[in-house]
Structure 1
Amino acid sequence: MLTAGALRAHLLAARLAGPVATPREKSLRSYRMFAAGDPRYLIGLEPEGCWTPMAVLRLMARRCGVSPDPGHTAGPDAIDPDRTVAALEAFADRLAVAAGRRVPVLLGTGHPQRLLGFYAVLAATLSAAGCPVLTPAYGRCIDISTRFGLRTHTLDYVRGVAVVRPVEGGGLPGAHCHSPLPVRVALAEAAARGGPLPGLVIGDHGWVCGAGQLGIEAIGLGDVNDPAIFVGEAEGRLAVAVPVDDAARSDYYGPLTRYVLNRACLSQ
């Protein structure tokens, strides 16, 4: 069994926490853009509070462990591994409740190249525990704004996890996406067909922010340049936000999966 201490050591060795690959400049820019209400950084969240860039920075210091000093403007940003471990334990506790109640779950990721394996193992385990793993709106086309302009994507499910693929130039396992549109489309179709609706959404980016904004319990992962996820948690729209670098090698997330499943008593 992976202990909290061993997990902490892994987080630091793999640079999932501690000094991470996300540049400080990128984090600070995302805080400014979130505070300005840029939809690309709100990713489906409609904040209730007054979030200035400084307020966002203070929140991210509390939730993730980034430096609270606005004068620290360059170099790698940082995540406190103890905050990551604590959040993973809260994440595991939510999984245990969902499994115990056998609630329908929806999983989706905007980081399929990195995080698909993490979520896919959760999907398989929850399914084995009796939770329906939902796949609404499979194959639906969605127009999503990208840095190249508006592009049409299809909603797909890989090993029980929702991803989007560009219609032109698609490929495996899916596209990097921050948009809340996929989860909105999926939930709208589930409702139109008379359900079931998810009792829990697990994912990142627009998947959890979009679901949480609609009042559905959501838990997920967030990097230090994803302030919406942590604002959503602070305002009560997201149940758990786990601070972690979300762009590392996919195999680095395996110990995180094992840890949460062990804590949730769901290890197979």
Structure 2
Amino acid sequence: MTPVPTRTELRDQLVRTLIAGEVATPRQVNLLHFRRMAAGRPYYQFGLELEREWTFEDIFALMVKKCGIDPDTSHVYGDDTIDPDLTIDALDAMGERIGEAAAGRETVLLATGHPSGLLPVYLAVARELRERGCRVITPAAGWSYEVDTPQGSRTRQIRYIDDVAVLSGDGALHHTHDPHPMRAILEEVRVNSGVWPDLAIADHGWAGAAGQAGVATVGFADCNDPALFAGEAEGKVHVVVPLDDNVPPHYYTPLTVYLLARSGLID
């Protein structure tokens, strides 16, 4: 087992691996996504039905506060930033909520739209929650729908990997912002199960749709994905951890160990 890093050690590692600090997420992409969210484009809402009108200026200010992007409005091209201290503060808050789930043996649902990066984090949390008697549910396995891709229409379906929901198709796991799979999961729970999740641990549209449905939700978001931070500001999402969500998976190991320790799931 990797030793639990101190806050200082984790901060240094986050910056060194570009999970936080000066990240590889392009500033111009961030600004474009802020504009598209402000315009109400569904792809950038992550399944959230936000209560207030979020202007570009509102979103920019929010992302400076909650994520630590560069506050210089004249910076329109190049790399952007994520404040590693905000990342760790949010990990502490996420860990507290996951610890409550473990102590109460809650029913938990885990899902990621970034299996190429974040999946190992979810797998570790799911494993530890199961060992502490939590019910980790896997509804709607195999549910499928059609998505438009550059290659034409393709079928995508919900697959569970050790109780973590991902989107699969064409022999691969896929990145997704879509809220539709989480909505299908919650509809399956509502109609056939009755075991409503106490907590969702997720990202992208998986997290947005869960939060919109009233499930207590904690999750991760990159600095080009403002919707979840707006959802947090409106109280629809409990905690959002700002980070680069697609660095090599093993770079997240210290973060994972820190999160498990803050949750009380490991010593």
Cα-to-partner distance string for 1:201-241 (whole Å, 9 max, x where unaligned): 00100011110011110001000000001001011000000
Question: Which has the larger displacement, 135-144 or 12-21?
Answer: 135-144
Q: TM-score, normalised by structure 2?
A: 0.96
2:104 maps to 1:135: no
Closer, same or farther: CA 236–147 of 1 in aligned 2, 3 Å: farther
Runs of 4+ with >6 A deviation:
none
Cα deviation, residue 150, structure 1: 4.3
1:109 aligned to which of 108, 112, 115: 112
Closer, same or farther: CA 47–148 of 1 in aligned 2, 3 Å: farther
Counterparts of 2:215 and 2:152, CA distance in 1: 30
Match of 1:177 in 2: 176
Secondary structure (helix, strand or coil) at the match of 1:22 reads strand
Match of 1:212 in 2: 211
2:35 maps to 1:68: no
Match of 2:196 in 1: 197
Indicate if the aligned counterparts of 1:141 and 1:155 stay in contact, CA closer than 8 A: yes
Cα deviation, residue 143, structure 1: 2.5
Indicate if the aligned counterparts of 1:104 and 1:200 stay in contact, CA closer than 8 A: yes
Counterparts of 2:160 and 2:148, CA distance in 1: 21
Match of 1:239 in 2: 238
Indicate if the aligned counterparts of 1:142 and 1:155 stay in contact, CA closer than 8 A: no
Cα-to-partner distance string for 1:123-169 (whole Å, 9 max, x where unaligned): 00001111111100011112334455543211100011101112xx2
Secondary structure (helix, strand or coil) at the match of 1:247 reads coil
Cα-to-partner distance string for 1:9-39 (whole Å, 9 max, x where unaligned): 1100111000101000000000000000011
Task: Quote the sequence identity (%).
Answer: 45
Match of 1:33 in 2: 36
Q: Which amino acid aligns with 2:171?
A: G
Structure 2, unaligned stretches of length 5 or more?
none
Indicate if the aligned counterparts of 1:11 and 1:81 stay in contact, CA closer than 8 A: yes
Counting matched residue pairs gives 264
1:66-105 equivalences in 2 (<5 Å): 66-105=69-108
Structure 1, unaligned stretches of length 5 or more?
none
